[in-house]
Amino acid sequence: MKLLISNDDGILSLGVRSLADALAEVGYDVTVVCPNRERSATGHGLTLHEPIRAEVVNSIFHPKVTAWSCSGTPSDCVKLGLWALMESSPDLVLAGINHGSNLGTDILYSGTVSAAMEGFIQGIPSIAFSLASYTSKEFQVAAMFAQNLVNQICKQPLTEPTLLNVNVPPIPQSEIAGVKITRQGIRRYTETFEKRADPRGKTYYWLVGEAIEDVEQPDHLHLPPEIPTDVQAIRDRYISVTPLQYNLTDAAGVHCLQQQGLGVGNLEFRI
């Protein structure tokens, strides 16, 4: 099975090395294309107004891994890998292992999830992996789970292209409660900007918001309430696996607007 791996923490991050090496060691054909520096929280941004440069990287990964460092965003990396650097399309696109969680509304900003989303947009099954801690550097549990999940998909391929967002608790394997299929939760932040001055006396601002973990989780329109959110699963020490999609249409909103008479032909526009 051929794999394309990217991330948003950069080519030198321990997370992507742990993921790529774990999969190469068991015989997968692994190509890594990652940003040449950290590009966290860049979302699905693309580089359109300047050239994208890529260089081969040696001596960082397992000898069987083909690795590239890219000047672009995580989404750029996946596009470049698919359309310029790889000779044929991969069977899976993977992203991570991200250093820090991607839960709830985090996924709207996440470069890791966006890298996997780019593969999904191209019709390739894709998985984003994250370690739910910014301080822990113990990626082995997450790498082992990734290895097992890819093995399972290899033996029993997904029936249709799917995007999975996987978050792994930062605890020893013996303390993990299990694996749960989850729905996306809500993770709001207290947005705070620190006002600072540079050495020349000019003002700048630094975002230092903190996550609010106890936000009430609404019921999902199409899912039973007993399916936990990703935020709750991680809190309960479960590995969270959330299927995602890129169609952001609000079905309830469509019905609401129709009921209010805002359908086509029901509005008059005057200039």
Q: 204 has which bridge partners?
A: 196
Confirm whether 209 is domain-assigned: no
% of the chain at pLDDT higher than 70:
91
Among 83, 97, 86, 76, which Cα is nearest to 9's?
97
Among 225, 221, 243, 229, which Cα is nearest to 186's?
229
Tell me: the pLDDT tens digits for 163-207?
A: 999 999 999 999 999 999 999 988 777 777 888 999 999 999 887
Confirm whether 266 is domain-assigned: no
Confirm whether 270 is domain-assigned: no
Q: Contact at 8 Å (CB) between 26 and 151?
A: yes
Quick one: three-class SS letters along 179-221?
EEECECCCCEEECCEEEEECCCCCEEEEECCEEECCCCCCCCC
Confirm whether 148 is domain-assigned: yes
Confirm whether 176 is domain-assigned: yes
Instruction: Kindly report the CATH number assigned to the domain that includes residue 91.
Output: 3.40.1210.10
State the residue range of the domain holding 162: 2-186+218-255
Mean pLDDT over residues 228-255, rounded? Answer: 89
| Number of structural domains the chain divides into | 1
> How does DSSP classify residue 228?
P
Confirm whether 105 is domain-assigned: yes
* pLDDT of amino acid 91: 95
Tell me: the pLDDT tens digits for 129-169?
A: 999 999 999 999 999 999 999 999 999 988 788 999 999 99
pTM of the full predicted structure? 0.89
Tell me: the pLDDT tens digits for 59-111?
A: 899 999 999 999 999 999 999 999 999 999 999 999 999 999 999 888 999 99
> How does DSSP classify residue 146?
H
Confirm whether 101 is domain-assigned: yes
Confirm whether 196 is domain-assigned: no
pLDDT band at residue 244 under the 50/70/90 scheme: very high
Tell me: the pLDDT tens digits for 16-28?
A: 999 999 999 999 9
